C-alpha cells in the first residue's frame, strides 16, 4: 500500500485536502481499526470509506438504508472512477455484480441491511475478499435513535464472522445515548469514536411562536434573497403553502412531496437545485441526498420530529459557508399533537420519545442562546452566547419565556 491518502484524494476527487476529521477517520480505517464517525451532514462521510476502499485489498461492503440513496452514491462513486455496485432487490445485474466481487473487481459493494442476514450473501462473502464493513446511517441500529430499523440488528452476526475486518459506522445524528448504543450494538471499542464539530456558525437560528404562519414565512422570504426550503408537515399542506407564498411574495415557489407525480417531483427538485431564488415547500422527504450549497434559508412551518431532525433539516442551509437563516415556527397545537402521537407508539419507546419532545420544547422555549442548546445536545460545550441567533441578537423578556415554557412543557 504505497500510495498516500492525500494523493489518492487529489487524484480521484480533485479535492486539495481532507476536511475536518476525515483524515483521522481514514487513517484509522487504513490501520484496520473499527471506528464510529459522528460527523454532521455535508461533512463528507462517504469519502471516509470510499477512499480506503480504493486503497485496501478486497471490497468494502457498504450498508445503507435506502435503495434510492444507494443509487445516488453509486453514481457519485463511479463518477470519480471507483469500481462500485449495488446488490439490491431492484438490481437486474445481480449475477454480474457477484462475479465482479468474486473476481476482486469491486472497491465498493452497497447492500441493504436485510441482505446481510441471508445465507446467500454470507456464502458470497466467504468466497470473496472483504476489506471493510461501512455502516452508513448507523443510528438506525439503535432503538434509542430517532430512526430505528430492526434490520440493522441483523448485521452483527455477519460482522462477527470477520473479526479482523474493520467496521466503520457513520452517522450525523446521534446524541450521547445513541452513540453508546451504536458502539455496543456494532462491537466498536469506546476509544474508536471520532466526533466532528457540529457548529454551523453561518446559520442564524430563530424560533418563534406561530401567529399567522403563512404571513410569517412570506415575511421571511421577502427579507431573505436566495433559494429556500419551507418544511410543512402534510402533503396537502405543502401545496397550499406553495400557492399562498407564490401569491404573497411573487417568488417562484414549488411544492414537493412523495405523493406528487414522479415526473413533477423530479422536475421540481432539479429546478430548485439549479435556481438561485426558488422556494420549495416540502415534506421532510425532501433534502436527503440533495447537494445544493447555496440554500439561503430553511423555514419550519411546525415542529420537527426531534432536535436531531431539526439539526439535519436546518443543516441544508448555507452549506457554502455564506450567511443563512433557519427559522422555526411552532404552536401549542404542535406539542399537543406530538404528545398524542407518543401515546400511540409502543410503550417501551415512549420515555425516549417523550424525552426527545421535551428537548425540542426546551430549544423552542429558551430565552438563552439557541445554538448553545443545540450543540449541548450533541455533547459540545459552546460559549454562553453565540451572537448569531434570535435570542442573542435581541434578548427576549425572560419572565415571559419562562411562563410559556411552563405552560407547554409540564402537561
Ligand atoms: P455526508 O454523508 O457527511 O452528509 P457527503 O459524503 O455526501 O456528506 O459529502 C458532502 C459533500 O462534500 C460532497 O459533495 C462531497 O463531494 C464533498 N466533500 C467531501 N469531502 C471533501 C473534501 N475533502 N473537500 C471538498 N469537498 C468534499
Ligand atoms: Mg452520507
- Which of 170, 164, 158 lies closest to 64, judged by CA? 170
Residue nearest to atom 23 of ligand 1 (CA): 18
Look at the block and give the residue holding cell 412570506. Answer: 218
In tens, the pLDDT along 6-18 reads: 999 999 999 999 9
In tens, the pLDDT along 105-158 reads: 999 999 999 999 899 999 999 999 999 999 999 999 998 777 889 999 999 999
Backbone angles phi, psi at 174, to 5 degrees: -140, 120
Does the structure show a pLDDT above 50 at 411? no
Tell me, in angstroms, the distance from the centre of ligand 2 to residue 70's CA: 10
Residue nearest to atom 12 of ligand 1 (CA): 44
Q: What cell does 272 get?
A: 430548485
Q: What cell does 76 get?
A: 457519485
Does the structure show a pLDDT above 80 at 402? no
**What percent of the chain has pLDDT above 90?**
78
Look at the block and give the residue holding cell 476489506. Answer: 131
pLDDT at 328: 98
Distance from C-alpha of 401 to C-alpha of 397, rounded to nearest angstrom? 7
Which bound ligand lies closest to the C-alpha atom of 290? 1
Angle 289-266-221 (CA atoms, 0-180°, nearest 5)? Answer: 75
pLDDT at 409: 55
Nearest ligand 1 atom to alpha carbon 15: 24
Tell me, in angstroms, the distance from the centre of ligand 2 to residue 87's CA: 18
Number of other CB atoms surrounding residue 395 within 10 Å: 13
- Which of 62, 85, 89, 66 lies closest to 75, judged by CA? 85
Tell me, in angstroms, the distance from the centre of ligand 2 to residue 288's CA: 9
Look at the block and give the residue holding cell 440493522. Answer: 152
Q: What cell does 224 get?
A: 431573505
Angle 352-358-361 (CA atoms, 0-180°, nearest 5)? Answer: 150
pLDDT class of 405 with cuts at 50, 70, 90: low
- In this structure, the residues whose C-beta lies within 6 A of any atom of ligand 1 are 15, 18-19, 22, 39, 41-47, 291
More reliable by pLDDT, 133 or 407: 133
Which bound ligand lies closest to the C-alpha atom of 9? 1
Relative to beta strand 227-231, strand 295-300 is parallel
Tell me, in angstroms, the distance from the centre of ligand 1 to residue 298's CA: 20
pLDDT at 290: 77
In tens, the pLDDT along 49-69 reads: 999 999 999 999 999 998 888
Q: What is the mean pLDDT of residues 335-355?
A: 92
Does the structure show a pLDDT above 90 at 175? no
Tell me, in angstroms, the distance from the centre of ligand 1 to residue 365's CA: 34
**Run of H or E including 60:** strand 59-63
Tell me, in angstroms, the distance from the centre of ligand 2 to residue 101's CA: 23
Which bound ligand lies closest to the C-alpha atom of 50? 1
Does the structure show a pLDDT above 60 at 408? no
Q: Do 253 and 242 meet the contact criterion of CB atoms below 8 Å apart?
A: yes
Distance from C-alpha of 1 to C-alpha of 312, rounded to nearest angstrom? 37
Nearest ligand 1 atom to alpha carbon 22: 23
ipTM score assigned to the predicted complex: 0.98
Which bound ligand lies closest to the C-alpha atom of 8? 1
Amino acid at each position: 500500500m504505497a500510495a498516500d491518502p492525500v494523493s489518492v484524494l487529489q487524484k480521484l476527487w480533485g479535492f486539495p485536502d481532507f476536511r475536518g476529521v476525515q483524515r483521522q477517520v481514514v487513517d484509522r480505517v487504513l490501520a484496520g481499526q473499527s471506528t464510529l464517525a459522528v460527523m454532521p451532514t455535508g461533512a463528507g462521510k462517504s469519502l471516509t470509506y470510499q477512499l480506503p476502499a480504493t486503497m485496501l485489498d478486497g471490497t468494502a461492503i457498504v450498508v445503507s438504508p435506502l435503495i434510492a440513496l444507494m443509487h445516488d452514491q453509486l453514481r457519485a462513486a463511479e463518477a470519480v472512477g471507483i469500481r462500485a455496485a449495488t446488490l439490491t432487490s431492484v438490481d437486474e445485474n445481480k449475477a454480474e455484480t457477484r462475479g465482479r466481487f468474486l473476481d476482486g473487481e469491486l472497491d465498493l459493494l452497497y447492500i441493504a441491511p436485510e441482505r446481510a442476514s441471508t445465507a446467500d450473501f454470507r456464502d458470497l462473502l466467504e468466497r470473496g475478499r472483504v476489506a471493510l464493513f461501512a455502516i452508513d446511517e448507523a443510528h438506525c441500529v439503535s432503538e434509542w435513535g430517532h430512526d430505528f430499523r430492526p434490520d440493522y440488528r441483523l448485521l452483527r452476526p455477519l460482522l462477527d464472522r470477520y473479526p479482523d475486518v474493520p467496521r466503520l459506522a457513520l452517522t450525523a445524528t446521534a446524541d450521547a445515548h445513541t452513540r453508546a448504543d451504536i458502539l455496543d450494538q456494532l462491537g466498536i471499542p469506546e476509544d474508536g469514536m471520532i466526533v466532528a464539530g457540529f457548529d454551523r456558525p453561518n446559520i442564524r437560528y430563530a424560533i418563534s411562536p406561530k401567529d399567522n404562519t403563512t404571513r410569517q414565512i412570506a415575511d421571511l422570504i421577502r427579507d431573505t434573497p436566495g433559494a429556500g426550503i419551507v418544511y410543512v408537515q402534510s402533503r396537502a399542506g405543502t401545496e397550499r403553502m406553495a400557492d399562498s407564498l407564490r401569491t404573497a411574495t411573487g417568488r417562484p415557489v414549488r411544492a414537493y412531496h412523495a405523493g406528487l407525480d414522479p415526473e413533477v417531483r423530479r422536475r421540481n427538485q432539479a429546478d430548485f437545485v439549479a435556481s438561485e431564488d426558488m422556494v420549495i415547500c416540502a415534506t421532510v422527504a425532501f433534502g436527503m441526498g440533495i447537494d445544493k450549497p447555496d440554500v439561503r434559508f430553511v423555514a419550519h412551518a411546525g415542529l420537527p420530529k426531534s432536535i436531531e431532525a431539526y439539526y439535519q433539516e436546518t443543516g441544508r442551509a448555507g452549506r457554502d459557508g455564506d450567511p443563512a437563516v433557519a427559522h422555526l415556527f411552532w404552536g401549542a397545537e404542535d406539542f399537543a399533537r406530538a404528545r398524542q402521537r407518543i401515546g400511540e407508539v409502543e410503550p417501551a419507546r415512549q420515555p425516549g420519545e417523550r424525552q426527545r419532545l421535551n428537548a425540542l420544547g426546551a430549544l423552542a422555549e429558551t430565552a438563552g442562546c439557541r445554538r448553545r442548546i443545540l450543540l449541548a445536545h450533541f455533547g459540545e460545550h459552546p460559549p454562553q452566547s453565540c451572537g448569531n441567533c434570535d435570542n442573542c441578537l435581541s434578548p427576549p423578556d425572560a419572565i415571559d419565556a419562562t411562563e410559556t415554557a411552563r405552560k407547554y412543557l409540564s402537561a
